[in-house]
Amino acid sequence: MTEKTDIYMTGVGGQGSLSASTALGEAATRAGLKVLVGEIHGMAQRGGIVESTVRIGSACGPIIPDGRADLLLGFEPVESWRALPKASPRTMVVTNTHPIVPATVSMKGDDYPDPDFVVAQIRAFCPNTLAIDATEIAREAGNAKAMNTVLLGIVAGTGILPFDAEILRAVVMANVPKKTIEANERAFDRGVEIGGQQAG
């Protein structure tokens, strides 16, 4: 665990990736660390690509140079694949394997690539890749919308973040609707368990 961590996040509008980047930034601040959060909304409300960055520690700006991300956090497999220019073989990748077919693809009749193939391409470039159906885990926890909470828990569990998992857990629970707290707690804790297994 170091005190400088560059996180590149990508997904599709409506998946909660921007909320996740905000939570990571707030957790870093609570831990007394310098942090810069940058967001590229794209066509978020129409299911378009959403990208954000969280730079914890010494950084001159919110943009992560190509090949410099310490962590690539993907909320959708193809978007994780597309974001590989930000990564390097040393980058840790945590990606959801549950696909979301963009409207532009379905309307054109194009084929969505096989998720297993996509993950294999990611893993070939970044050997330290954890690919898991975080959407299904969130459903099992009681709220499919808690997929982003599962991913945050996984990241916290790996030990890559320069602050304790409990700080991030507290931030997440303070910002979800009260009626979903229990489901989000289960989602986060399950994620931490999975991340810890990866780290071990």
Query: What is the pairing mode between strands 71-74 and 5-12?
Result: parallel
pLDDT at 101: 76
Domains of the chain by residue range: 5-199
pLDDT at 127: 97
pLDDT at 112: 86
Are residues 23 and 171 in contact, defined by beta-carbon separation less than 8 angstroms?
Answer: yes
Q: Can you spell out the DSSP letters for 133-195?
A: -HHHHHHHHT-GGGHHHHHHHHHHHHT-SSS-HHHHHHHHHHHS-GGGHHHHHHHHHHHHHHH
Looking at domain 5-199, its CATH architecture is 3-Layer(aba) Sandwich (3.40)
The dihedral region occupied by 67, where left means phi > 0, alpha psi between -120 and 50, and beta the remainder, is left
pLDDT at 12: 86
Residue 50's beta-bridge partner residues? 11
pLDDT at 44: 47
User: Measuring CA to CA, how many Å separate 179 from each of 144, 154, 182?
Assistant: 14, 23, 8
* pTM given for the model: 0.92
Each residue's pLDDT tens digit in the chain (200 positions)? 456 899 999 988 778 788 999 999 999 999 999 999 998 755 545 567 889 999 999 777 889 999 999 999 999 999 999 999 999 999 999 999 999 876 555 555 678 899 999 999 999 999 999 999 999 999 999 999 999 999 999 999 999 999 999 999 999 999 999 999 999 999 999 999 999 997 65
pLDDT at 89: 98
pLDDT at 1: 45
